């Protein structure tokens, strides 16, 4: 039966108590989540031989998370991805977000949701372990208009599926783009030998500052063609000008169409030897793929081992820029009376009998 546990993890900003919540499926999968930043601190999954191991990178102590770090496992917002020059216009008013990445605003600015202490409540049923995180972002937070109330709910079920549901409401028009920023590795020294498949026929090129440009470009004939499983190292070795700004992938793929609010498969990641397989399903239309090469030797997997170049991979489900003629312009405008909802699931089909792995989306949340 699933279980939910909580224990202290330290103090953030010198005063706020931070908790570590553990969701256990009772069937071999365990997730650990911090109230600081909503961080997915750990996700342990058995391989095909039944040996458990981590599939997300983590940092050993709270001070490592509160110090400058590249959003390890955090919920990022209000706006995931980059806002060009930290400026956007909404209903005729220009808003300014503090720049924190090469003159642009990244992931909501320097004090975005990844630095906040979230409220938390846990519960369990016969088939699920649940952690519900809440956050109030006041009007003007990091320059964004309107007060925003956000709920992020992590659910781990007995099949080993981990889901996160986002819900947000506002009292003034604002922009919102929420995602989880976990660094994935299914069990190897680096990510280059993993195979990746992305269910998308187009991607958004970027400029020298990694700002998305339009219109969407076809993946055919480029290293961005991941419509069939490809070894990641093979794609990164391709000499393509689009790989230079980030030294690898840091691009948004335009996922194949699906009915609004229904889950679609975004990506399939497989470890060498097929020891573990992760499928990412989402209600979002875009998937940011980031190979995280600037983390060379900068982090461990909790065992004390240092990692090589391209030690992990971010797969971030998110919205798409709303206009190819306004590079980096925010996409989703949320207005009073409306509710933003989205869902992402991490599934591990190697844990299930083959008959349970058919690509059929469940009912919308």
Are the C-beta atoms of residues 141 and 14 closer than 8 Å to each other?
Answer: no
Alpha-carbon dihedral sign for residues 235, 240, 246, 249: negative
The catalytically annotated residue of 251, 316, 319, 329 is: 316
What is the 8-class DSSP label of residue 105?
Answer: E
Alpha-carbon separation of residue 77 from 28, 58, 165, 192 (angstroms):
31, 20, 14, 29
Closest CA to 88 of 166, 203, 177: 177
Tell me, yes or no, if 316 is annotated catalytic: yes
The catalytically annotated residue of 41, 181, 307, 319 is: 181
Q: Quick check: helix, strand or coil at residue 96?
A: strand
Q: How far is the C-alpha of 135 from the C-alpha of 127, rounded, in Å?
A: 26
Q: How far is the C-alpha of 331 from the C-alpha of 344, rounded, in Å?
A: 18
Tell me, yes or no, if 41 is annotated catalytic: no
Neighbouring residues of 213: CB distance < 8 A, sequence distance ≥ 6: 204, 205, 206, 207, 324, 327
Catalytic residues: 181, 316
């Amino acid at each position: 039966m699933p279980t939910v546990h909580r224990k202290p993890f330290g103090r953030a900003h010198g005063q706020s108590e931070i908790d570590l919540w553990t969701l256990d499926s009772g069937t071999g999968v365990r997730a650990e989540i911090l109230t600081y930043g909503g961080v997915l601190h750990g996700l342990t999954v058995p391989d095909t031989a039944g040996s458990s191991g981590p599939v997300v990178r983590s940092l050993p102590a709270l001070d490592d998370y509160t110090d400058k770090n590249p959003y390890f496992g955090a919920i990022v917002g209000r706006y995931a991805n980059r806002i060009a020059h930290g400026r956007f216009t909404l209903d005729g008013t220009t808003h300014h977000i503090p720049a924190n990445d090469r003159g642009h605003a990244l992931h909501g600015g320097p004090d975005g949701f990844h630095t906040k202490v979230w409220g938390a409540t846990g519960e369990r049923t016969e088939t699920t372990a649940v952690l519900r995180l809440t956050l109030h972002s006041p009007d003007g937070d990091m320059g964004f208009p309107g007060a925003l109330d956000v709920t992020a709910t992590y659910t781990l079920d007995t099949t080993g599926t981990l889901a996160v549901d986002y819900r947000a409401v506002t009292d003034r028009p604002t922009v919102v783009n929420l995602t989880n920023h976990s660094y994935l590795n299914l069990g190897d020294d680096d990510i280059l030998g993993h195979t990746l498949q992305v269910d998308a026929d187009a991607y958004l090129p970027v400029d020298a500052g990694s700002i998305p440009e339009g219109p969407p470009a076809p993946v055919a004939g480029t290293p961005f063609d991941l419509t069939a499983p490809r070894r990641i190292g093979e794609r990164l070795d391709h000499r393509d000008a689009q790989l230079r700004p980030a030294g690898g992938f840091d691009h948004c793929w335009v996922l194949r169409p699906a009915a609004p609010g229904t889950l679609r498969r975004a990506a399939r990641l497989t470890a060498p030897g097929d020891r573990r397989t992760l499928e990412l399903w989402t209600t979002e239309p875009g998937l940011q793929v980031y190979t995280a090469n600037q983390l060379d030797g900068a982090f461990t997997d909790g065992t004390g081992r240092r990692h090589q170049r391209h030690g992990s991979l971010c797969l971030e489900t998110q919205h798409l820029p709303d206009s190819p003629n306004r590079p980096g312009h925010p996409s989703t405008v949320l207005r009073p009376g409306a509710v933003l909802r989205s869902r992402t699931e991490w599934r591990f089909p190697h844990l299930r009998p083959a008959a349970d792995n058919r690509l059929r989306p469940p009912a919308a949340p």
